[in-house]
Homo-oligomer: A and B are copies of this chain.
Amino acid sequence: MSGDGEHVGHGLPAAGGTAEESLAGGELAEFRAFRERMNREILDEGNLVMNRFFNLDGRAYESGALDVRTKELLGLVASLVLRCDDCVTYHLTRCREEGVTRAEIFETLSVGLIVGGSIVIPHLRRAVARWSELQAMA
């Protein structure tokens, strides 16, 4: 959270994150503004456990033995089967930044659908709507 160049999953957007800034859909912008404002309020509270967790959350998606794209797909499928729309939106946004294709997104979502079952479908609909929105923002 302190280093430069560090992206923060579910956290504060990196300073100068131009790629993200240009995604200016209505609801999506609102979501990002709320996330940013609340992340700041949480981090400013100075709770050591929360602050370190937010930092670690960013680290988990950094390049290593697996590249960033693959890790973002892992985050996406995990978010889908756990049925967290905000988390899905976050990882879709990151996937878009990393150049993931529509076909790759659909295959990732299809694994989540099979693993998680029909209960995932409402989240799948919102995920696809969000992805189409992100593509339209190019």
Interface residues of A (CB under 8 A from B): 9-10, 34-35, 38-39, 41-42, 45, 47-50, 52-54, 56-57, 59-61, 64-66, 70-71, 73-75, 77-79, 81-87, 101-104, 106-122, 124-126, 128-129, 132
Contacts and interface: CB of A to CB of B under 8 A. Distances in A.
Contact of A118 (B39, B87, B121): B87
B74 A114 contact: no
Please state the number of chain copies in the assembly: 6
A47 B120 contact: no
B115 A79 contact: yes
B65 A122 contact: no
B116 A119 contact: yes
B34 A115 contact: no
Contacts of A78: 77-78, 81, 111-112, 115-116, 119
